[in-house]
Chain A
Amino acid sequence: MSVPFIAVLFVFHYLPLWGWLMAFQKYSIPLGILGSPFIGFGQFAELFGDSRFYQALRNTFAMSGMSLIAGFVCAIGLALLLNEVRSSLYKRTIQTIVYIPHFVSWVVISNIVIYLLSPDHGPLNELLAGLEVIGEPIYFMSKEKWFWVIHTLAGLWKELGWSTIIYLAVLAGVNPEMYEAADVDGAGRFAKMRRISLPSLLPTATLLLILAVGQMLSTGYESQMLLGNSFVMDYSQVLDLYALDYSLSIGDYSYGVAISMFKSVVSIVLVLGVNTIAKRVGQSHVL
């Protein structure tokens, strides 16, 4: 029974791995993968010798880390709060509203963010000026150090609602008898939330955390490319954007493969690491 699935997995995930050969070549399309000259670890030497690569790595970890923490804390918080809402109409309306940004592309989201933060009569600046907090409008998008924060908040807004779905599903499955028992023991709503709802969420949360950590280096590049500009380049260039700039856009495919191999290795190390920690602290684990 499982043969077709394993075949699919093999064809799409293992077979293409022979393309990793390219990372050790000076690949040129006309010569093909069989004809291109081998250059050993040259691509990796170049990669690890490039200061921009370390900058990109730092930005990737920083932005992923911030998104991961903000995403987890806020999604669990929102799910817990939504779970307490009694009116089903109100709950559904809120859910729908927070889901919507997930279906909107980054192109639109980034335009909205740039418009909101614009120093040229952008709503946020108008608001701050109206409250007389600031005199001159602030040019948010040109502040290098703020980029990570702006990016994290924009991502949070886009994905927050979507990531609550799974937690809400878990909460719906919690045995009501536990709450009833707590009621009898005289627990208030906050006590129930802390002692019952939150612990029920933890196994799922750990599982999602392990999976998310594996994806830490694969941030994609759309959000950074669309929100970024030349002022904040040192803080917005993530690994995927670096690969796009220095591999695909200039046709140096070998370099791109080297970057992707590096990403794979780091991701495996991260997943195994988190998994081990989760095992140690007695939480659920994947492997």
Chain B
Amino acid sequence: MRRQGIALTVLALSLGLLAGCGGNNSENGAQQEGAASGGGAAPSSSAAASPSAAKEPTKIQIGNLFPNLDVNNPVMKELSVRTNTTFDLITVTGDRNQKFDLWLASGDYPEDTLVLKPDYVEKYRTAGALMPLDDLIEQYGPNIKEKYGKYFDLLRSSDGHIYSLYVPKLSTEPSPLLQANFAVRYDVLEDAGYPEIKTFDQLYDLLNTFYESNPSIDGKETIPFAGFDYYGNGADNLSSPTFDASGLVNQGNFTIDDENNAQLLYSTDEMKRYYQFLSKLYNSNMLDKEFFTLNSEGLVKKITEGRVLAGYFPSWWVQPEVEKVLRASGDYDHQYAYFPITFDSSAENKSFTSLMTRSNWNWVISSKSKHPEEVMKLLDYIFSDEGQILINWGIEGRHFEVKDGKRTVLADFNEKKAANPDLQWTETASPFMGTSIYLDHGTKLADGDYATPTTKESVISGYDDRTKEVLAKYGKEVWSDFLPKIQLMPALLYQLGDIEDVRADMKRLQQAWLKDSPKIIFSKDEQEFDAKWDSMQKSLEKEGAAKATDAYEQLWATTMERYQTILQ
């Protein structure tokens, strides 16, 4: 009996293992589908219209980032019919960077096209794994050229050739999803008569007043200001908030002034000022005790207990993830309003920036490709208006309809999607989703309608009544209405990649900074604060701050020089 039981368990486990390995089988059945409907789809795009219906579909091997993607979903099938191709997906699982390194080291990267971050584009390019795209775009990329227009030369790499594709910023309005990151709870604002919080002094007074009258909630202390620690190293609470609070362009580990001088963020007066604010909160017992050690689960617990009044919550986290939980339990008062709070409300706030091009998951064509022209046609098709509608909206009649000349997601599909968040993988997802090839939310296509289903109306329709009420008090419709003008930049320092010579120095600097920051902020008084701040500056100096700053300043200068000639 017992033996049998063990044998069965072993068998079940090994079958499970096999099933896990087989999950990526990506050979697709779209081929028959494509042959069956043949020329019936009649794509009008120049890229896809040229081959006659009789031509064999080209098999294109694509690097794919989404393990859940169903290669036979309706959008993938439609794409395959329209472009006369079939897809062979090579899916990246586990750590992406390690996988990309491994692919390159073994020469085993996908044969036709793959999606890479800019620093990996550079790595692959130096290894000769990428095909220059200039001539291909010239011949087969009419849509790419049309979409890029005057920005076309921004695609060029430092050697003058184009190696990767990503979209330009065409929209004139900010994405309605964009919002500030400093959050204040609705009931705190209501108590004070809905003031618009612009500065940290205002925020401090607001929190202090509420805290004095409500020192505890359900027997546990109120936490006026909290942070969160997504990557478990404390950095999330310190660096981005400093940029936001100072109205500076977020350049990663450095600030860059108008004269293009770089300074290490950890030594700036701006960071010191933000630390002073946190230290003040700490000494009046208003900062979360676990500010530097709390992981995201811990913070969710505190928020849902209704104890956290305000904090720095990145827009992709508390609002979409945690407030959903609050609403589900019928708690609408403990949601958060999002304000772009700064130290000096009269100074220009540059912390909301957008690149002129959105280069972060770029498409490249591998040098192994046997039919690069077909790959280029496919990528060019995605750049076309038709292609954008397909990858962003889905299929007309199944996922969206055109009402009064405007595309609207079908109510039925919306409901199903709300009930089952995984539905996108079997309905509308493609390897292009979420990469740098879909146009920004809020971009309008040639037909005057939006390129993606995320519009101001769709965002408003997702709000509950309490949120609409709070926004109405300020005369706004969505949280992005609070934002200052978006700064368009040709490049940002952090997306230019690492500099090999100083990468170990940067790591050392970062660790020195992370180690000392909590001690500075948890200082008892001003003297101790200053002493600890100065001692951190000394250790940063010792770890090579000057050398790293020079290297990045140099990188920034050469990049800017190049863009200035392009943009002239």
Contact = CB atoms under 8 A, between A and B. Distances in A.
A250 B511 contact: no
A30 B290 contact: no
Given A29-B105, A226-B232, A249 B507 contact: yes
Contacts of A41: none
A233 B514 contact: yes
A249 B514 CA distance: 16
A145 to B, nearest CB: 14
Nearest to A253: B101
B220 A225 contact: no
A230 B292 contact: yes
A98 interface: no
A119 B234 CA distance: 17
Nearest to B297: A111
Interface residues of B, number: 36
A245 B293 contact: no
Contacts of A231: 292-293, 518-519
Interface in A48-96: 52
A32 interface: yes
Contact of B504 (A29, A233, A250): A250
B494 to A, nearest CB: 15
Given A29-B104, A141-B293, A142-B293, A246 B507 contact: yes
B518 A30 contact: no
Nearest to B107: A32
Interface in B400-459: none
A218 interface: no
Give the contact-size bracket for chain A.
20 to 34
Interface string B268-308: 00000000000000000000111011010110001000000
B518 A230 contact: yes
B234 A250 contact: no
Interface string B498-531: 1000011011100100110111000000000000
A13 B508 CA distance: 33
Interface in A135-168: 137, 139, 141-142
Given A230-B234, A231-B292, A246-B504, A121 B220 contact: yes
Interface in A4-57: 29-32, 46, 52
A139 B507 contact: no
Contact of B511 (A111, A226, A245): A245
Which residue among A31, A52, A111, A230 has the maximum number of chain B CB atoms within 10 Å of its CB?
Answer: A230
Nearest to B229: A229
Contacts of A29: 101, 104-105, 123, 127
B126 interface: yes
Contact of B232 (A30, A121, A137, A229): A229
B233 interface: yes
A115 B301 CA distance: 11
Contacts of B517: 230
B511 A251 contact: no
A252 B297 contact: no
Contacts of B297: 111
Contacts of B105: 29, 32
A252 B101 contact: no
A22 B232 CA distance: 31
A233 to B, nearest CB: 5
Contacts of A234: 515
Interface of B: 97-98, 101, 104-105, 123-124, 126-128, 220-221, 232-234, 288-290, 292-293, 295, 297-298, 302, 498, 503-504, 506-508, 511, 514-515, 517-519
Given A230-B515, A231-B293, 16 more contacts: A29-B127, A111-B295, A119-B290, A120-B221, A121-B220, A137-B289, A142-B518, A229-B234, A230-B234, A246-B504, A246-B507, A248-B98, A251-B97, A251-B101, A252-B504, A255-B504
13 contacts: A29-B127, A30-B126, A111-B295, A114-B293, A114-B295, A115-B298, A142-B518, A230-B514, A245-B507, A248-B98, A250-B504, A252-B504, A255-B504
Interface of A: 29-32, 46, 52, 111, 114-115, 118-121, 137, 139, 141-142, 225-226, 229-231, 233-234, 245-246, 248-252, 255
